[in-house]
Amino acid sequence: MRVLPVGDRALLIEVGTGEEAEALHAELLRRRATGDLAVAEIVPAAGTVLLDGLDDPSLLTGRLASWEVPPVPPRAQDVVEIPVRYDGPDLADVAAHWGVDETEVARIHAAAEFRVAFCGFAPGFGYLTGLPREVPRRATPRTAVPAGSVALAGPYTGVYPRSSPGGWQLIGTTDIVLWDHTRVPAALLAPGTRVRFFPVAAP
Amino acid sequence: MSDRALAVVRAGALTTVQDRGRPGHAHLGVPRSGALDAPAAALVNRLVGNPPDAAVLETTLNGCSVRPRSTVTMAVGGAPCPVTVDGRPVAWGAAVRVPGGALLDIGAARAGVRGYLAVAGGVAVEPVLGSRSTDLLSGLGPPPLTDGTVLPLGRPPGFHARVDVVPHPAPPLELVLRITLGPRHDWFTDAALRTFTTRPYAVSSASNRIGLRTEGPALERSRAGELPSEGMVLGAVQVPPDGRPVVFLADHPTTGGYPVVAVVHPADLPGAAQAAPGTPVRFVAVRHRR
């Protein structure tokens, strides 16, 4: 674990792997809930957790060294199930990249169990880990990816909460609403949420 | 709509509703947003007797014009500019009683970039995640104002501030940004770090509420490859592949993959909000952490 100061009010905690970041994130949330940690924002990412809004970062840096971070906690929470029509325009490219046919891409994707490693890019956009294979980003990003697009890039799966530019490989579409600010919670996917995708036929 | 409303007659280049933003949701990818020059927004609220978190209008360079449906107290601050009511000059940086149906015009900024208009009772659009701010990165909150937009107003507070005039800092002729190096200054060569903290930059016209972009010498990286996405703070100085530092402002993305060479002192960010394109910028290291 490496602790990097970020200005005068924040720390970036760097760990080795996504699993360690997940475990550290869970531990930080636990300590905040018990009142042991006073911080405005806890922002997990690929291999780091950012703590923003600290009164005394250097004091916390000292304390962090002595903390036991238990491994990833048991996955007791419910699974969010997302229906997908595997009809994306990049399905053939992903199939070719993996050396399988398009049906197999859908089977591999729907068989995996995912977890929201972190959010970013847009409100409610989760970076989901758990897919056993990777694909590169598209060489040329699209200027508009439709809302509900289920997409792959690197080790991640994501679902576009709203139409936006994007360079991810589009493999399918869902009608589920990822983000609705009038709903509580607004985001369907938050860091730590477990997710499965299941195939549905086109209407 | 009731009489407690404000009609936008001229929306100007970019006028948005802003309050103190929606911090606390960065882990969901929600930017903090909020007034870029937060002290100026707080001052105009104070002049009309509003609490500091009341929603105001934030204008960009050329002001805007509004017509209240009923008589109401307003105050204009931030970037200095001419203010008129039905064509007659009125005070800038002070509370002004505007009769119902009269036109309040905020003219072009004489200096600075962002003007603030507070209305007694505050702009009462529906909050999103606890804030009425327009977030231009993610589209949360009300859209930027257009000609003809009608904004609801809140109830005026029961008392008014007894101050007539409050001191406004002048927009910077040169923007000096105190920085703390890191967390990713080790991604840059020593020569690049010297360049960054000694050479002059200038505010780019591509700057917006997301970031203050700069023109000047490119910062050379000491390593190749990509940084995995990591959390970003307000004031982070991110260096994209073109090597020109970008200072993250209120609508910045919550995570990013370009290395952050330094973080700007929060007290210097309101000045960044008022630095017009072409304004010289200097980054001054106040602490060096390795």
The Cα B233–Cα B254 span in angstroms is: 7
| Whether B272 contacts B249, CB under 8 Å | yes
Question: Which residues of chain A have a CB within 8 Å of the CB of B23?
Answer: 40-41, 53
Element (H, E) at A60: helix A57-64
Q: How many residues does chain A have?
A: 203
DSSP H helices, chain B, are 38-47, 190-198, 269-273
What tokens were used for B223?
A: 């390593």
Question: Which residues of chain B have a CB within 8 Å of the CB of A40?
Answer: 23-24
Q: List CB contacts of B194: < 8 A, sequence separation 6 or more.
A: none
pLDDT (average), residues B179-200: 97
The Cα B18–Cα B14 span in angstroms is: 12
Question: Which residues of chain A have a CB within 8 Å of the CB of B183?
Answer: 4-6, 12
pLDDT at B27: 96
Residue-wise pLDDT tens digits, B75-117 = 999 999 999 999 999 999 999 999 999 999 999 999 999 999 9
Task: Using the structure block, give the residue that is written with the tokens 């880990």.
Answer: A129
Q: How does residue B161 score in pLDDT terms, banded at 50, 70 and 90?
A: low
- CB of A49 within 8 Å of a chain B CB? The answer is yes
Nearest to A8 among B29, B180, B184 (CB): B180
pLDDT (average), residues B48-58: 95
Query: Distance (Å) from the C-alpha of residue A164 to the closest C-alpha of chain B?
Result: 10
Query: Distance (Å) from the C-alpha of residue A160 to the closest C-alpha of chain B?
Result: 12
Do the chains contact at B27 and A5, CB–CB below 8 Å?
A: no
Of residues B24, B21, B23, B26, the one with CA closest to residue B229: B26
Nearest to B27 among A7, A12, A42 (CB): A42
Q: What is the DSSP letter of B261?
A: E
Fold classification of A2-64 (topology level): Gyrase A; domain 2 (3.30.1360)
Above 70 in pLDDT, residue B159?
no
Spans in chain A with pLDDT lower than 70:
73-76, 203
Domains and CATH numbers, chain B: 5-152 (no CATH), 175-287 (2.40.100.10)
Query: Distance (Å) from the C-alpha of residue A201 to the closest C-alpha of chain B?
Result: 30
pLDDT at A203: 63
pLDDT (average), residues B143-161: 89
Do the chains contact at A53 and B236, CB–CB below 8 Å?
A: no
- CB of A98 within 8 Å of a chain B CB? The answer is no
Interstrand relation of A149-153 and B175-181 (parallel, antiparallel or unpaired): unpaired
pLDDT at B167: 73
Question: Which residues of chain A have a CB within 8 Å of the CB of B266?
Answer: 7, 9
SS (H, E, C) A126-180: EEEECCCCCECCCCCCEEEECCCEEEEEECEEEECCCCEEECCEEEEECCCCCEC
Question: Which residues of chain B have a CB within 8 Å of the CB of A47?
Answer: 228, 230
pLDDT at A72: 76
Question: Which ipTM was obtained for this model?
Answer: 0.93
Nearest to A119 among B28, B140, B263 (CB): B28
CATH: 3.30.1360.40, 1.10.569.10, 2.40.100.10, 1.20.1250.20. Which one for A79-199?
2.40.100.10
**Measured CA distances, B208 to B32, B137, B274 (Å):** 15, 10, 11
> Of the ranges B83-92, B149-158, B247-256, B275-284, which one carries the lowest mean pLDDT score?
B149-158
Give percent above pLDDT 70 in chain B. Answer: 95
Q: Where are the domains of chain A?
A: 2-64, 79-199
- φ and ψ at residue B54, rounded to 5 degrees: -65, 150
pLDDT at A76: 59
Above 70 in pLDDT, residue B160?
no
Do the chains contact at A47 and B30, CB–CB below 8 Å?
A: no
Q: How does residue B165 score in pLDDT terms, banded at 50, 70 and 90?
A: low
Element (H, E) at B97: strand B95-98
pLDDT at B290: 40
Nearest chain B alpha carbon to A190: B28
Instruction: Work out the burial of residue B192: count CB atoms within 10 Å of its CB; fewer than 13 is exposed, 13-18 middle, 19 or more buried.
Output: buried
pLDDT (average), residues B215-233: 94
What tokens were used for B157?
A: 């507070």
Question: Which residues of chain B have a CB within 8 Å of the CB of A118?
Answer: 27, 229, 255
Instruction: Work out the burial of residue A100: count CB atoms within 10 Å of its CB; fewer than 13 is exposed, 13-18 middle, 19 or more buried.
Output: middle
The Cα A43–Cα A25 span in angstroms is: 8
Q: How does residue B175 score in pLDDT terms, banded at 50, 70 and 90?
A: very high
Query: Distance (Å) from the C-alpha of residue B229 to the closest C-alpha of chain A?
Result: 6
Nearest to A123 among B29, B233, B260 (CB): B29
> Of the ranges A69-73, B89-93, B225-229, B245-249, which one carries the lowest mean pLDDT score?
A69-73
pLDDT at B289: 46
pLDDT at A201: 87
Do the chains contact at A162 and B139, CB–CB below 8 Å?
A: yes
Do the chains contact at A186 and B28, CB–CB below 8 Å?
A: yes
pLDDT (average), residues B114-136: 97
- CB of A162 within 8 Å of a chain B CB? The answer is yes
Question: Which residues of chain B have a CB within 8 Å of the CB of A50?
Answer: 26, 230-233
Query: Which residue would you say has higher pLDDT here, B57 or A67?
Result: B57
Conformation bin of residue A3: beta by default, left when phi > 0, alpha when psi is -120 to 50:
beta
pLDDT (average), residues B231-255: 96
The Cα A163–Cα A171 span in angstroms is: 16
The Cα B16–Cα B146 span in angstroms is: 10
pLDDT at B79: 97
| Local structure of B10: helix, strand or coil | strand
| Local structure of A90: helix, strand or coil | coil
CA atoms within 13 A on the CB side of A92: 1
Of residues A82, A70, A63, A55, the one with CA closest to residue A13: A63
Q: How does residue B162 score in pLDDT terms, banded at 50, 70 and 90?
A: low
CA atoms within 13 A on the CB side of A8: 10
The Cα A110–Cα B206 span in angstroms is: 43
Do the chains contact at A5 and B182, CB–CB below 8 Å?
A: yes
How would DSSP label each residue in B224-250? -S-PPPEE--TTEEE--TT---EEE-T
